[in-house]
Chains A and B, each alone.
Chain A
Amino acid sequence: EIVLTQSPDTLSLSPGERATLSCRASQRISSSYLAWYQQKPGQAPRLLIYGPSSRATGIPDRFSGSGSGTDFTLTITRLETEDFAVYYCQQYDSPPFTFGPGTKVDIK
């Protein structure tokens, strides 16, 4: 099973700041099958980035993804108030598909 580790656990930032979230895999995965999801309290997750740099429909361009092999990054260039949430990476290269434990981005 591929284990995903996300860092940091929590990121405390102010609106307008840049957020950089890391996702590391325990073994090499195809970058085509790495995705990022956003989840707000009481809501279902929402797909942000897949493949690992393609934005899902309706996702603003302040969100971007990059990486390959075992190291992947989600960047939010200028945080808006609606971006404060929990972010999960997921690999779906080979089952069992796995999610990282999440990074919480909260308001400083």
Chain B
Amino acid sequence: EVQLVESGGGLVQPGGSLKLSCAASGFTFSGSAIHWVRQASGKGLEWVGRIKSKGDNYATAYAASVKGRFTISRADSNNTAYLQMNSLKTEDTAMYYCSRSTMATNWAYGSWGQGTLVTVSS
């Protein structure tokens, strides 16, 4: 069974940092692109960024709202992806989901985790 489990969320002060993890199981992690998507309470989905597989040189891309502050990485040996968040702002408060995309769904996000909540507040 495909599983993605996010962790690392919590309460952090503005200007602080937090690192989220996305632990994967049940599929070939190394062949998948991993994406982070966030959702503020009562709002829509916002794409945060993605990291491709080793075959695509681990290429990353980010939303303008987080570029320069957030970094996505992965450790294929541990089947885990990460989202390092620095210089956090109150507007970064949201549920953060990781998801995977593969050729099987033409790179649409076929599997999602249940999310981890990040609250940025003083």
Please pick, from B45, B61, B97, the residue contacting A88 in the complex, using a CB distance under 8 A.
B45
A21 to B109, CA, bound (A): 20
Secondary structure at chain B's binding surface: helix, strand, loop or mixed?
Answer: strand
The yes or no answer to B110 lying at the interface (CB within 8 A) is: yes
**A47 interface contact, C-beta 8 A:** yes
Binding site for A on B (CB under 8 A): 35, 37, 44-47, 50, 61-64, 97, 99, 101, 105-110, 112-115
- Asked if B64 and A54 make an inter-chain contact with CB atoms under 8 angstroms apart, the answer reads no
| Contact between A95 and B61, CB atoms less than 8 A apart | yes
A61: B residues at CB distance < 8 A: none
Q: Contact: A99 with B45, CB < 8 Å?
A: yes
**Interface size, A (range):** 20 to 34
A99 with B105: CB separation less than 8 A? no
Q: Report if A44-B113 is in contact (Cβ < 8 Å); known contacts: A95-B50, A101-B44.
A: yes
Q: A37-B109, A50-B106 are in contact. Are A99 and B46 (CB under 8 A)?
A: yes
A69 / chain B contacts, CB cutoff of 8 Å: none
| Chain A window 16-46, contacts with chain B (Cβ cutoff 8 Å), 1 for yes, 0 for no | 0000000000000000110101010000111
Chain A residues with CB under 8 Å of chain B are 1, 32-33, 35, 37, 39, 44-47, 50-51, 54, 56-57, 88, 90, 92, 95-102
Within the complex, which residue of A44, A92, A99, A102 is in contact with B115, where a contact is CB–CB below 8 Å? A44
Identify 20 new A-B residue pairs, CB closer than 8 A, beyond the known A51-B105, A90-B45, A99-B47: A33-B107, A39-B45, A44-B115, A45-B45, A45-B99, A45-B109, A47-B108, A47-B109, A56-B110, A88-B44, A88-B45, A92-B101, A92-B108, A95-B62, A96-B61, A96-B64, A97-B47, A98-B47, A99-B45, A101-B44
